Amino acid sequence: MPIDQAAVAELDRVDTRPALVDPFGRAITYLRVSVTDRCDFRCIYCMSENMAFLPKRDVLSLEELDRLCSAFVARGVRKLRLTGGEPLVRRDIMTLFSSLSRHLRSGDLDELTVTTNGSQLGKYAREIKSCGVQRINVSLDTLNAEKFRAITRWGSLDQVLAGIAAAQDAGLKIKINAVALKGVNDDEFPRLIEWAHGRGMDLTLIEVMPLGEIGAGRLDQYLPLSMVRARLAERYQLEDIDHRSGGPARYVRVAETGGILGFITPLTHNFCESCNRVRVTCTGTLYMCLGQEDAADLRKPLRASEGNDLLFAAIDEAILRKPKGHDFIIDRRHKRPALARHMSVTGG
């Protein structure tokens, strides 16, 4: 169903309120929204092969997602990232991009972006660009087709590479995200760096995080990026650059390629003091911190009335509870994840 533009315009008109600032003085300017828990891949670190997905009635409609995102924009969010699950497998997802693009045109939003596994980019890259999206993140852990199949279980490397090419043709700037997996892709980082940088794309390596039961032993996959970085430093000149995203990534320039390499190390690094972000799941659950269980239900106030007063009250109440920091640990004795929810729920 198309999003009713007259209704959203009316809500946009009345909903200007003070910006969100948490009790530690951090302004909340970045919202990541998981638009679906479903995915066309089953990456080994993210999902089990037979995942149980949410019933449709629990998932916010595209119209509700638009309202929710727009409420945050009205409260000072300047950057919006759509994620999932795989955001581009949600039916009619382009109507949400298209509707949200009004906030870019009005100047209320600086950036609309998406994190995708790339499988649908061949189909959607042009439309995404035409909605004002400038940069996207594409997750790709290996350039080896067999390994790609082993990691994603259901994915096709060729389809993703074609999607990346389509996105570049459409004029989208791409950052590649690769999860570092011990014994799986740890021999491939130089190749990934040279491939990405050779095509004008930044690359960020991500340390595997202990989220959700996924069947395999998490400790078997864990590879500290400090080790990866030390090994890469033997081969390349890594120059520290002051390029921060307000998030857990630290960046270097690889002198030999001229490209940027990021390291996201949530387990070995504390980045909470600069945290400007919150996350909402596709059921409207707001997580104030990726590393804590505390959450607030925004679906109930969203569905309770057509205006946004109840929703704003719930958001305000939740932001007051945003914690100072997280405490991720892989439970080494019991080999259990520190948090039970999957990355595909909160969207990474």
Residues lying near ligand SF4 in the complex (CB under 6 A) are found at 39, 41-43, 46-47, 84-86, 117, 139, 344
What is the rounded distance in angstroms from the CA atom of residue 82 to the CA atom of residue 61? Answer: 14
Residue 61 near residue 31 (C-beta atoms within 8 A): no
Shortest Cβ distance from residue 295 to ligand SAM (Å)?
A: 17
Give yes or no for residue 209 binding ligand SAM (CB under 6 A): yes
SS (H, E, C) 205-240: EEECCCECCCCCCHHHHCCCHHHHHHHHHHHCCEEE
Q: Is 107 helix (H, G, I), strand (E, B) or coil?
A: coil
Alpha carbon distance 174, 336 (integer Å): 34
We find the least distance from the C-beta atom of residue 20 to ligand SF4, in angstroms, to be 27
Instruction: Classify residue 85 by burial, with Cβ atoms within 10 Å: 0-12, 13-18, 19+.
Output: buried
The correct pick among 70, 177, 265, 308 for binding ligand SAM (CB under 6 A) is 177
Q: Which residues contact 127 (CB under 8 A, 6 or more apart)?
A: 94, 97, 98
Nearer to ligand SF4, 180 or 272 (CB): 180
Which CB atom, from 43 or from 133, has the smaller least distance to ligand SF4?
Answer: 43
Residues 56-85 that bind ligand SAM (CB under 6 A): 83-84
Tokens standing for residue 223: 């590879």
3-state DSSP of 237-286: CEEECCCCCCCCEEEEEECCCCCEEEEECCCCCCCHHHCCEEEECCCCEE
29 is in the binding site of which of ligand SAM, ligand SF4, none (Cβ under 5 to 8 A by kind)? none
Q: Which residue is nearest to ligand SAM (CB)?
A: 348
Q: In the complex, what is the shortest distance from the CB of residue 38 to ligand SF4, in angstroms, rounded to a whole number?
A: 9
Place of tokens 């799986």: 184
DSSP type of residue 21: B
By a kind-dependent CB cut-off of 5 to 8 A, residue 42 interacts, out of ligand SF4, ligand SAM, none, with: ligand SF4
Per-residue binder mask for ligand SAM (CB under 6 A), 39-58, x = binder? x-----xx------------
Q: For ligand SAM, which is the closer residue by CB, 88 or 131?
A: 88
174 binds ligand SAM (CB under 6 A): no
119 binds ligand SAM (CB under 6 A): no
Which spans of this chain sit near ligand SAM (rule: CB under 6 A)?
Answer: 39, 45-46, 83-84, 86, 115-117, 139, 177, 179, 206, 208-209, 211, 343-344, 347-348
